Amino acid sequence: MTLDPKAAHLDTTTAHQNHVKAAEHCDAASAAHKEAAKHTESGDAKHAGYHAAVAQGHTLQANEHSEMACKKTANAAPATK
In this prediction the pTM is 0.78
- Of 58, 64, 62, 59, the C-alpha closest to 8 is 64
For residue 80, the model assigns a pLDDT of 76
How much is the average pLDDT of 15-35?
97
Q: Is residue 6 part of a domain?
A: no
Residue 32 maps to a domain: yes
| pLDDT > 70? residue 20 | yes
- Give the pLDDT mean for 16-41: 98
CA–CA dist 40, 38 (Å, integer): 5
Comparing CA positions, the residue from 53, 1, 65 lying closest to residue 29 is 53
Question: Domain span at residue 23?
Answer: 14-74
The size of the chain, in residues, is 81
- 50 is a domain residue: yes
pLDDT at 77: 79
pLDDT in tens, 34-61: 999 999 999 999 999 999 999 999 999 9
What pLDDT, on a 0 to 100 scale, did the predictor assign at position 63?
Answer: 98
Confirm whether 24 is domain-assigned: yes
How many domains does the chain contain in total? 1
CB 11 within 8 A of CB 68: yes
